[in-house]
Structure 1
Amino acid sequence: MPQALHAIARRTLLMALATPALARAQAPAWPDRPVRLVVPFGAGGAIDTLSRTVANAFPPLANGQTLVVENRGGAGGTIAGAVVAQARPDGATLMMADLGANAIARDLQPSLSYDPMRAFTPICHLVNLPLVLVVPAASPARDLAGLLDLARQRRDLVYAHPGIGYVGHLAQELLLRRTGVTMTPVPYRSGAEVVRSIIADETGSAIITVSTTLPFIREGKVRALAVAARERVPLLPDVPTIAEAGGPALAGFEATVWHGVLGPAGLPEPLVEAANRVFNAAMRQPDVARVVEQTQAGQIVGGTPAQFANFIQAEHARWAPLIQSAGIRTE
């Protein structure tokens, strides 16, 4: 090859090798503007507390940009889900993910305008929040076996849940089906109302988040029988898991409230990777960890977008058959 052509070929090869790195260097860093975080429930609940805690930690990790929490409650979280599903995939609109709106909503409501398993791009699994089975302080049930025996004796025993298709509702239905016991579900509008019904002895049991019930457990106003987590909860070390307390019928039983961050489908991979780094870093901040672990009794998860996507797929596979077989619908 003539020397001139050799030099041209060499320059061409070097430019080709340098182009991807140059493109990355010239690409605007995410975020380059304030980011909207759509929350599928109203202010004051556990998911709102988590969202605002993460938002407080966000700016120093995200080029000084803010994370603006926008509560869009209603319809089991699907109002927020529809907003984010229809948003431009530019990283300016994200969602604090929830089982209902982002995994099982179409199983509960077949006419839903979006498909939760296709409409979003998973970014980062933030936390798991444990659930606990509680009964009124005056209940004769001292443990899980006692509650199941009571339900077999009393056909009118009712349980409370904070809405059709919420994980506490699904977890209790799964527990009943696996043990062959019948109870009547009574829906309330919030976890706080569920706890009030248990304290007042209006309902016989509920599976609700530890963070919602912990003060009342400590005060003796409700009794904790078992946690729905895979392992015992550090803030309730003497309370067994449902799998421990339930015998062979409940072996491996597990249910959890989980939250993470996702965006609309079609988010570019470099943006997803950048957002994942920011949210993983936010969860490592001491103030965030303190709220999750001490106030919400939760577990920080973190990880890659692929891990979060696989987790959501697994959650759908866990709950969709129960929803179908039990005929659970929100419409």
Structure 2
Amino acid sequence: MNKPSQFALERRSLLSTGLALLAASPAARAQSGGTWPSRPVRIIVPFAAGGPADGLARMLGEQVLGPKLGQPVVVENRAGAGGVIGVAAAAGANDVHTLLFGSISMTIVPHLQAQPVGYDVVRDFTPLAQIASTPFLLVVPSGSRFTDVAALVAAAKARPKGLSAANSGYGTLSHMTAELFNQGAGAELEPVVYRGEGVLMPDLLGGQVDLGFLTLSSVLPHLRAGTLRALAVAGAARLPELPEVPILAEAGFPGIEVDGWQAMFAPRSVPPAAAARLSAILAEAMADPAIRARITSFGAVPASRPNADFAAMVPEEFRRWGVLVKERNIRVD
């Protein structure tokens, strides 16, 4: 057998050296998870600046992720289309240095649209950790004749669409919670669509609409002032702020549970080691009383669901809302 020439040996050596240098480059190491992150991290928030989601994302970036990762963390607001624009931008980036501060709406909106939204919540993202929840309550004006859920459901069954339910927008979680209530309780409430909770509140307070499934932060001042009455919490547990208000299951209507979750996601392409590191950092932060107090200050409830449980819940949420949209024939015009 002929021995390789000196030229061939040198060429082989140079090639091996080049491959080693390539493997050791920051980009290659970042893709493998070895030195991730190798540059600033971006968090896309699919909602406008100044809102609770934006505030939570910036707090996590500045107080948690930046110091732990050793890189600047930049929040980018990409609002519009019920969150679709921002979520699709995060999915399309396919960049291991781009994270998404998402919400439950990303599992609902795809079922409402006639055209593809530009992302697949199960295929395109790696759930890292739930950060917060937005509780929803069934509330009526203080002058309402209804003092419990059973009486309200009985009236709704006796006269389908005879009771009006204000919501903060067609396809929003406020609207979808009412639809879930219709399905679970066998009621048929008439939806009245507004552009936000602040816009609907005067009509609800004045009795022009009969009820609403609204966020804790929007109704709590009115509950304390005695101008609204809470009949139930549309969640799995009573709220510390309103310990006397039962959940719907306690009121006789089990299975009607909504968790208005907000969470951090990474692209599916993120290296497993990097995803595990991020999940661990966020889990540690969620156990910090100071971080939990900051979350509460944004009008949200700090999450207590383990990261693995949340990751398993996301595809189930996508399936559940898809079934509801189909069975209730809900579509955005």
Q: TM-score, normalised to structure 1's length?
A: 0.82
Q: 1:302 Cα deviation (Å)? A: 5.4
Q: What secondary structure is seen at the aligned counterpart in 2 of 1:33?
A: coil
Q: Provide the C-alpha distance between the structure 1 equivalents of 2:52 and 2:209, rounded to a whole number of angstroms.
A: 23
Counterpart of 2:282 in structure 1 is: 279
1:58·1:67 contact (CA, 8 Å) conserved in 2? Answer: no
Offset at residue 64 of structure 1 (A): 4.1
Contact 1:32 1:63 (8 Å CA) reproduced: no
Summarize the Cα distance change of 1:296–1:54 in structure 2 as closer, same or farther, 3 Å threshold. same
In the alignment, which of 302, 309, 312 is matched to residue 311 of structure 2?
309
CA distance 1:173–1:137, shift in 2 (3 Å): same
Q: Give the whole-Å Cα distance in 1 for the aligned partners of 2:87 and 2:309.
A: 21
1:322 is displaced (CA, Å) by 0.8
Does the 8 Å CA contact 2:157/2:186 hold for their aligned counterparts? Answer: no
Say which SS state the counterpart of residue 244 (structure 1) adopts. coil
Return 189-198 or 167-176, whichever deviates more.
189-198
The Cα RMSD (Å) is 2.5
Listed as ranges, the gaps of 5+ residues in structure 1 are 1-22
CA distance in 1, matches of 2:229, 2:257: 20
Answer yes or no: is 1:218 the counterpart of 2:224.
yes
Identity %: 34
- Spell out structure 1 runs of 4+ moving beyond 6 A: none
- Are 1:164 and 1:328, in contact at CA under 8 Å, matched by a contact in 2? no
Count of matched residue pairs = 302
The structure-2 alpha-carbon separation of the partners of 1:317 and 1:57, relative to structure 1 and needing over 3 Å to count, comes to same
Indicate the residue corresponding to 2:109 in structure 1: 105
In structure 1, the residue matched to 2:7 is none
Q: Report the Cα distance in structure 1 between the residues aligned to 2:102 and 2:176, rounded to whole angstroms.
A: 18
Aligned equivalent of 1:236, options 232, 242, 253: 242
Matching residue of 2:254:
251
User: How much does 1:149 deviate?
Assistant: 3.4
Q: In the aligned structure 2, how far is the partner of 1:277 from the partner of 1:130?
A: 25
The C-alpha deviation readout for 1:238-273, integer Å capped at 9, x for no partner, is 00111111x2xx223311100111122211111111
Rounded Cα–Cα distance in structure 2 between residues aligned with 1:134 and 1:68: 38
Corresponding residue number in structure 2 for 1:291:
294
Are residues 1:205 and 2:223 paired?
A: no
Contact 1:157-1:204 at 8 Å conserved across structures = yes
Q: Is the 8 A contact 1:119 1:265 kept in 2?
A: yes
Q: Which residue of 2 aligns with 1:187?
A: 193
Contact preservation (8 Å) 2:138, 2:231: yes
Cα distance between partner residues in 1 of 2:85 and 2:147: 40
> What is the CA-CA distance between 1:76 and the residue it aligns to?
1.2
> Which AA in structure 2 matches 1:310?
A
User: 2:42 aligns to what SS in structure 1?
Assistant: strand
Q: Deviations over 1:114-161 (max 9, x none)?
A: 222212121222223321111122222112123223434554421112
In structure 2, the partner of 1:39 is 45
Question: 8 Å contact 2:136–2:234 — kept in the other structure?
Answer: yes
146-155 or 169-178, which deviates more: 146-155
Q: How does 1:130-141 map to 2 (within 5 A)?
A: 130-141=135-146
Distance in 1 between residues matched to 2:239 and 2:75, nearest whole Å: 29
Distance 1:55 1:63, change over 3 A: closer
Q: Counterpart of 1:127 in structure 2: which amino acid?
A: A
Distance 1:76 1:61 in 2: 31
Alignment-mate amino acid for residue 285 of structure 1? D
Q: In structure 2, how many angstroms separate the alpha carbons of the residues matched to 1:124 and 1:59?
A: 13
Letter in 2 for 1:117: V
Q: Deviations over 1:1-28 (max 9, x none)?
A: xxxxxxxxxxxxxxxxxxxxxx89x965
- Residue by residue over 1:63-114, the C-alpha shift from the partner in whole angstroms, topping out at 9 and shown as x without a partner, is 4433322222211110111100101332x2111111222x233211141222
TM-score by length of 2: 0.82
Do 1:38 and 1:96's aligned partners in 2 also have CA atoms closer than 8 Å? yes
1:159 aligns with 2:165: yes
Q: 1:324 to 1:276 in 2, by over 3 A?
A: same
Judged with a 3 Å threshold, the aligned counterparts in structure 2 of structure 1 residues 95 and 274 are, in CA distance, closer, same or farther, namely same
CA separation of 1:192/1:285 partners in 2, compared to 1, >3 Å: closer, same or farther?
farther
Provide the C-alpha distance between the structure 1 equivalents of 2:110 and 2:173, rounded to a whole number of angstroms.
15
Unaligned stretches of 5+ residues in structure 2: 1-28
Q: Give, in whole Å, the separation in 2 of the partners of 1:211 and 1:145.
A: 25
Kindly tell me: are residues 95 and 230 of structure 1, through their superposed partners in 2, closer, same or farther at Cα, counting changes over 3 Å? same
Shift in CA distance, 215/43, structure 1 to aligned 2, threshold 3 Å: farther
